[in-house]
Chains A and B, each alone.
Chain A
Amino acid sequence: MSQDETHTIDIIGKPSRHKIQEKIVTYFMLLCSSVAILTTIGILASLTFETFAFFQKVSFLDFLFGLEWSPQTALRSDQVGSSGSFGAVPLITGTLLISAIAMFFATPLGLLSAIYLAEYASKNVRAVVKPLLELLAGIPTVVYGFFAALIIAPFLRGGGENVGLVISSESALAAGLTMGVMIIPLISSLSDDVINAVPQSLRDASYGLGATQTETIKEVILPAAIPGIAGSLLLATSRAIGETMIVVMAAGLAANLTANPFEAVTTVTVQIVTLLTGDQEFESAKTLSAFALGFFLFIITLCLNIVALKIVDHYKEQYD
């Protein structure tokens, strides 16, 4: 910097000091955000590592295609116990059955409430109903589990007896229905946002052509909102697949391979819980299988979430 010239406008300062300040702030923030990222990486790494350890003991194909799940292995060498079979198929079908029941129940209810809230409800009704619906999402899942095990399941069982159906006291139906109630607010809230994001100009165009409100919703708003609604349904599905507490309490532990909603089934998450609660020998295939199941679950929900978010994002771009 030459000092021999005199300037009337002074722009000379200490850039180095500002640079250091900026750097400190930047690195501090990077540190903060890396805590979460590193934790995720750590979880993934341990999950992967233990999963590999499990597949040292049990063949991958047996796990993925085996039809029998009975993870009891002998704890002591002199113990007479089952050798254990780790076929995940009954768990996966159980998970899918319960999730399907939940979605089957929650999709129409959630979607119709979203349409009602977004298009029909007056401001006052909306101000009351929307928070009430979202309150459902705030109920701890263990309370839902309670509700399922103590009220829904006995009710279904009694109702079934009256019409000559045998419904076991722990059934896929009871768990699925309760889970359905739990994910209604998820579907309705996300779909409501999506429907509201359909531009008013499209509604005006439709009304301006003489369409009724029903025609406008059916022909213009829903088609425009379908991708976003599909995204919200996928997110809800991934939530249902990952849900644990309700199924632990209401669906049972029996790894039945069945499509009958009146029977007890078990899910991937329930088995992880039962495998890891209590004292466990860490090196046994039984314990390690929990990690394999967790890894498997992680992959499924990750894929669902990625697809769902892609769909939702893509839809958002359309109207920006």
Chain B
Amino acid sequence: MNSVVMPNELGTTDYQTELIAGKSIIQARDVDVFYGDKQALFGMELDIYENSVTSLIGPSGCGKSTLLRCFNRMNDVISTCRVTGSIELDSQDIHAPEVDVVALRQKVGMVFQKPNPFPKSIYDNIAYGPRIHNMTPSKVELDEVVEKSLKRAGLWEEAKDRLDKPGTGLSGGQQQRLCIARAIAVEPKVILMDEPCSALDPIATAKIEELIDELRQRFTIIIVTHSMQQAARISQHTAFFHMGYLVEFGETGDIFSAPKDERTQNYITGRIG
């Protein structure tokens, strides 16, 4: 479980990540992703550890968002997209025919780059997931879920007096926390975040980062980010991607202080990307 072999496109530096502790919840093996004829990911091998934050970093177009969208099969929505290889969540292949993508996405939630609250009230935004999954038979329970989710997302104090107001009326940072609350309302195990702070100012970003660190206690978080400082601040594991290949994966401290690959070194010091 603790020894992960990482091939890269040179096929030279197979190394082991013995230091990584914790239980692996997602295992991606030999994952290739194609958009039409164009291959976006090559032989991806990656483990995601439970109750930790894993950052996916790398220059634009390196495939990190593509990989993120594989974990909840959001790539299914894109008709030209084809995914091969195996991705296991809790030892179940998520592409197996008996897997219900609805149930998968309930367990693997997602927060997007731009805050995208529904044009509904704050309450209805949070209640959306629990309602479609019939998680809360009574109004009282639904109220509780809404309150709990908003509290966990650190938005309760700001939103409790305006639950019936549209979610789109909140500030950008609040909207993004609303989207996080909406995602955790369906009790996922894993939360995927695709550059969740790229549309936010530094203060709103700091709040989200703080929140991510708290959420780690309950959820496993995978975050795509362009900010290396952010990756260093909030994640326990970091994967560096380049041109569709996973170049290096390890504990965040190691990646940033002693990268093994020259490309990682170049990227984190700002020479490429």
List the interface of chain A (C-beta within 8 A of B).
122-123, 199, 201-212, 215, 219-220, 223-224, 318
B264 located at the interface, meaning its Cβ lies under 8 Å from any Cβ of chain A in the complex:
no
Residues of chain A with a CB closer than 8 A to B168's CB: 318
* Among B47-55, B114-122, B214-222, B248-256, the stretch in contact with A: B114-122
Of the candidates B79, B112, B129, which one forms a contact with A201 in the assembled complex, judged by CB atoms under 8 Å apart?
A: B112
Cβ of B132 and Cβ of A204 under 8 Å apart?
no
27 A–B pairs (Cβ distance < 8 Å), ordered by A? A122-B79, A123-B79, A201-B114, A202-B118, A203-B77, A204-B74, A204-B110, A204-B112, A204-B116, A205-B116, A205-B179, A206-B118, A207-B77, A208-B74, A209-B105, A209-B129, A209-B183, A210-B106, A210-B132, A210-B133, A211-B128, A211-B132, A212-B102, A212-B132, A220-B118, A223-B120, A318-B168
Residues of chain B with a CB closer than 8 A to A199's CB: 116
Cβ of A210 and Cβ of B179 under 8 Å apart?
no
Cβ of B119 and Cβ of A209 under 8 Å apart?
no
Residues of chain B with a CB closer than 8 A to A123's CB: 79
Residues of chain A with a CB closer than 8 A to B102's CB: 210-212
Cβ of A209 and Cβ of B116 under 8 Å apart?
no
Residues of chain A with a CB closer than 8 A to B119's CB: 202, 223-224, 318
Other A-B pairs beyond A215-B132, A219-B132, 11, CB < 8 Å: A123-B79, A199-B116, A202-B119, A204-B116, A205-B112, A207-B77, A208-B112, A209-B105, A209-B183, A210-B105, A212-B132
Residues of chain B with a CB closer than 8 A to A207's CB: 74, 77, 105
List the interface of chain B (C-beta within 8 A of A).
72, 74, 77, 79, 101-106, 109-110, 112, 114, 116-120, 128-129, 132-133, 168, 179, 182-183, 186
Cβ of B109 and Cβ of A208 under 8 Å apart?
yes
Residues of chain B with a CB closer than 8 A to A208's CB: 72, 74, 105, 109-110, 112, 183
| Cα distance, A210 to B117, chains bound together (Å) | 15
Cβ of A210 and Cβ of B103 under 8 Å apart?
yes
Cβ of B132 and Cβ of A209 under 8 Å apart?
yes
Cβ of B74 and Cβ of A209 under 8 Å apart?
no
Residues of chain B with a CB closer than 8 A to A209's CB: 105-106, 109, 128-129, 132, 182-183, 186
A204 → chain B closest CB, angstroms: 6
Residues of chain A with a CB closer than 8 A to B72's CB: 208
- Closest B residue to A212 by CB, please name it: B102
Of the candidates B79, B114, B116, B129, which one forms a contact with A210 in the assembled complex, judged by CB atoms under 8 Å apart?
A: B129
| Cα distance, A209 to B187, chains bound together (Å) | 10
| Cα distance, A193 to B120, chains bound together (Å) | 21
- Closest B residue to A224 by CB, please name it: B119
| Cα distance, A208 to B114, chains bound together (Å) | 14
Residues of chain A with a CB closer than 8 A to B179's CB: 205
Given A204-B116, A205-B118, A219 contacting B128 (CB threshold 8 A): yes
| Cα distance, A220 to B131, chains bound together (Å) | 13
B192 → chain A closest CB, angstroms: 8
B164 → chain A closest CB, angstroms: 15
| Cα distance, A313 to B85, chains bound together (Å) | 47
A124 → chain B closest CB, angstroms: 11
| Cα distance, A128 to B242, chains bound together (Å) | 41
| Cα distance, A43 to B32, chains bound together (Å) | 67
| Cα distance, A208 to B104, chains bound together (Å) | 10
| Cα distance, A219 to B125, chains bound together (Å) | 11
Residues of chain B with a CB closer than 8 A to A205's CB: 112, 116-118, 179, 182
Residues of chain B with a CB closer than 8 A to A204's CB: 74, 77, 110, 112, 116
Residues of chain A with a CB closer than 8 A to B183's CB: 208-209
| Cα distance, A79 to B223, chains bound together (Å) | 92
| Cα distance, A256 to B129, chains bound together (Å) | 55
Residues of chain B with a CB closer than 8 A to A212's CB: 102, 132
